[in-house]
Amino acid sequence: MMKRNLSLVLGATILLSACGGPEQPQSEEVAEAAAEVAACPQPDADGNVKIQDGLVAKIITTGYGRAAVSKDYADVHTTLWLYDETADGGRGLEIWSSGGTDPFQFQIDAGQVIQGWDLGVTCMLEGEKRELRIAPELGYGERGKPPVPPNATLLFEIELVKLTAPE
């Protein structure tokens, strides 16, 4: 219920501001969410989104829901490959897949996943599928994490199945 109300308030706020309507006082939570969504980088004509140095996303399937923001719980399906520029689509050795019917859940910006995921899943829409190419400094870095070798560039395909706002 709170998620629905937040979405409705956020949508109404954006519509009113876009239409030149009177400014309404906003809760701090709604204002922060609106600011985060407004700061989302936009895809180019090919669906590529440069999030920051070392992190590029390619939108495979456009989403239909609200955008992910910091502290949301994200339920995702994912597959990880080692990036190999000579392989078809850059997909080298497959390392891991969430598989099955149960998605993998994590909280954005809670330190539960690599930095490239926190940055790359933020701004995704529910239902969106994107590919993230993550440089080593935003992944497992010099130490690696077996079976991921040190200094590996990672390629993830991530489908954002569901977002849940924190209580």
E strand residue ranges, the chain:
48-52, 55-61, 73-83, 91-97, 104-107, 129-134, 154-164
The pLDDT-based confidence of 20 (bands split at 50, 70, 90) is: very low
Residue-wise pLDDT for 121-150, tens only, equals: 999 999 999 999 999 999 999 999 999 999
State how far the Cα of 138 lies from the Cα of 146, in Å rounded to an integer.
Answer: 16
Phi, psi dihedrals of residue 104, rounded to the nearest 5°:
-85, 130
Cis before 41? omega within 30: no
Which CATH architecture is the domain 40-164 placed in?
A: Roll (3.10)
Tell me the domain boundaries of the chain.
1-39, 40-164
pLDDT (tens digit per residue) in 34-45: 555 567 988 898
